Structure 1
Amino acid sequence: MLDTIGGLAALGTSILWATGSTFFTFASRELGSVAVNRVRLLLATIFLAITHLGINGALLPANGKAETWFWFVLSGVIGLVLGDAFLFQAFVWIGPRLSMLLMSLAPVISMIFSWIFLAERLTPLQVLGIGVTVLGVSTVILDRGKPSQTDGQNRNYLKGLLFGLGGAVGQALGLITSKVGLNAGVSPLSGNLIRIFSAAVIMWFIALFMNQAKVTIDSVWHSGRARSFLFMGTLAGPFLGVWLSLVAIQHTPVAVATTLMSLAPIILLPVGKIVFKERIGWRAVVGTVLAVSGVAMLFLV
């Protein structure tokens, strides 16, 4: 049966990521997604460093080997810098509906890569559970209305599909490289701090190079509402959510954990209905039933 700690951590990650994405949506409407991405990584680094100091007595992990740091830095670059950059650009070129549909393939990609790089083997029922869950999540995403004009009607459509797929690959490889670091004995908190810190350094270096750092800081400074949304979103997402995701992959096969962490579209259904006044169609109901059934299979096999 599925490890209870890993399974619950993965489900908790989905809930936290769904919560964080809601706050980041509000913040992005005022600041733009690029500024939000930069600031959330900086805030998360501060939160994690303070927590790490309180628990371990040091702002940064001091006892990790260079090889361990390498894997978590690589994870931050692949998952949080490149992966998110691909995803955000896919949003621009093909819209959120198709982008999130491609991101729902992350569990399948994780299953393939974890088999190749980590020698993780899944039972046939676990593979079936992953398939049912991915089908359910995809069905919910496809229920989000008719395709927009950006879906297939612009010259960047193929590039958008490739970038959306790149986002899914980035998420999968980011978690797999994190698991390699965790296998060396580093705690999920320390690993998350290294991962977020390295991504923040790279993102702000790019911002300085492009003369965007001051613009980003000024825009956040002059928007109290956006600061509040960023603060809450960072607590839920890159601070607690990513921390829990590393706990999940520490105790659970990466493919299974990624599947359980991909349920945000299901969790966001009531949020979309209540907060954003979105309709919930029959496909969303069917997709939810499928996803819950797949999750139940993963917990029981």
Structure 2
Amino acid sequence: MSGHDGRGKAALAALTGASLIGLAPIAIRLSEVGPNATNFWRFLFALPILAVWAAMSRPIPSRTQTLWLVLGGALFGLEISLWAVALNLTTITNATLLVNLTPVFAALFGWLWLKERLSPAILAGGAVALVGAVTLALARAQSGSGPAAAEHGWLGDLLSLLGAVFYAGYLMVVRAMGKTVSVGAVMFWATLAAACVAGAMSLALGEVLLPQTWFGWALVIGLGLWVQVGGQGLIAYGVGRLPIVVSTVLLWMQPLVAAALSWILFDEALSATALFGAALVLAGIFAVQRSRQ
């Protein structure tokens, strides 16, 4: 296989994976159970396949590495839980774009704990992304219908941003473990820990836990197999074989799919202000990722 063929397959994998992940917020809105309960089932149905993948992968993580992976998975679970709650407070586009500000916070964490240099380009990109986030929040506040106009819509935006912080922490753990632990092990332990967090959050918030119809069960099973295993697995395969700038652009498919479907299914049309804010967020993320390669 030539290098171009390999990169082409990696790009297709990342693009397909991001598109599948973009279905997650739509499924959470359509689910018969609470948002955290939906994620609990998503993770639970993915675990058997991930367990086989982890068992076949080498090297096997040590006890210390496993504890770190569980910690990372707990951070991932907190990110997903906060984002899931945010989906019912703000627009799907806002929640998805704001939680994707992770690279900005990852750069900040790298500077604080790993002593990585913050270049002017990273600082500028982060500033642009944050201005975009504020613009999205203002656009949501000006909207006149649906979750976007909810009294606590600002809380949904804030929870999405906080989710990005937790996900940045998860990525820091994965980065530290990634050179010595297999992708299969990372995904299994992260998903197991995230399932525990989502289940606990669901019980604490008193959410409906069991789907009532075949559609409800099919939806959460599909989330586990197609989104968690298929989407995350394809992204892990593709991103690991592509330059970070290319993978960043391809992963934009996630918020684009989510925004398009939320417009079609939930009438969450984007105003000119929201489109401008979204463009600023994506441009800022791109600048940060490009500067960190």
Per the TM superposition, whether the score is higher than 0.5 is yes
Q: Distance in 1 between matches of 2:124 and 2:247?
A: 14
Q: Distance in 1 between matches of 2:242 and 2:112?
A: 16
Q: Is 2:53 the counterpart of 1:78?
A: no
Q: Is 2:147 the counterpart of 1:151?
A: no
CA 1:162–1:284 in 2, change beyond 3 Å: closer, same or farther?
A: closer
Unpaired stretches in structure 1, ≥5 consecutive residues: none
Unpaired stretches in structure 2, ≥5 consecutive residues: 1-6
CA contact (8 A) 2:137 2:157 kept: no
CA contact (8 A) 1:73 1:195 kept: yes
Counterpart AA for 1:173: G
* % identical aligned pairs: 24
Q: Is 2:221 the counterpart of 1:225?
A: no
CA 1:270–1:149 in 2, change beyond 3 Å: closer, same or farther?
A: closer
Report SS of the residue matched to 1:31: coil
2:186 counterpart residue number: 191
Task: Give the C-alpha shift of residue 34 in structure 1.
Answer: 2.7
Q: Is 2:261 the counterpart of 1:271?
A: yes
Count residues in correspondence.
Answer: 275
CA 1:124–1:143 in 2, change beyond 3 Å: closer, same or farther?
A: same
Q: Distance in 2 between matches of 1:34 and 1:203?
A: 5
Task: Give the C-alpha shift of residue 104 in structure 1.
Answer: 5.1
1:20 counterpart residue number: 24
2:3 counterpart residue number: none
Task: Give the C-alpha shift of residue 207 in structure 1.
Answer: 8.4
Counterpart AA for 1:174: Y
CA 1:283–1:99 in 2, change beyond 3 Å: closer, same or farther?
A: same
Report SS of the residue matched to 1:275: helix
Task: Give the C-alpha shift of residue 263 in structure 1.
Answer: 6.5
Q: Distance in 1 between matches of 2:136 and 2:158?
A: 22
1:232-256 Cα shifts (integer Å, max 9, x gaps): 2223433234445656886799999
Q: Distance in 1 between matches of 2:201 and 2:109?
A: 32
Task: Give the C-alpha shift of residue 112 in structure 1.
Answer: 0.7
Q: Which one of 65, 76, 84 corresponds to residue 62 of structure 2?
A: 65
2:177 counterpart residue number: 181
CA 1:299–1:22 in 2, change beyond 3 Å: closer, same or farther?
A: same
Q: Map of 1:30-179 to 2, 5 A cutoff?
A: 30-52=32-54, 56=56, 63-80=60-77, 82-89=78-85, 95-97=89-91, 103=99, 105-121=101-117, 123-133=119-129, 135-136=131-132, 139=135, 142-144=138-140, 145-146=143-144, 148-151=149-152, 163-179=159-175
CA 1:207–1:14 in 2, change beyond 3 Å: closer, same or farther?
A: closer
CA 1:141–1:233 in 2, change beyond 3 Å: closer, same or farther?
A: farther
Q: Map of 1:193-208 to 2, 5 A cutoff?
A: 193-201=188-196, 203-204=198-199, 206=200
1:91-150 Cα shifts (integer Å, max 9, x gaps): 66xx22476676354332221112223344454335444544555566456544245342
Counterpart AA for 1:65: S
What TM-score comes out, normalization by structure 1 length?
0.69
Q: Distance in 1 between matches of 2:90 and 2:151?
A: 10
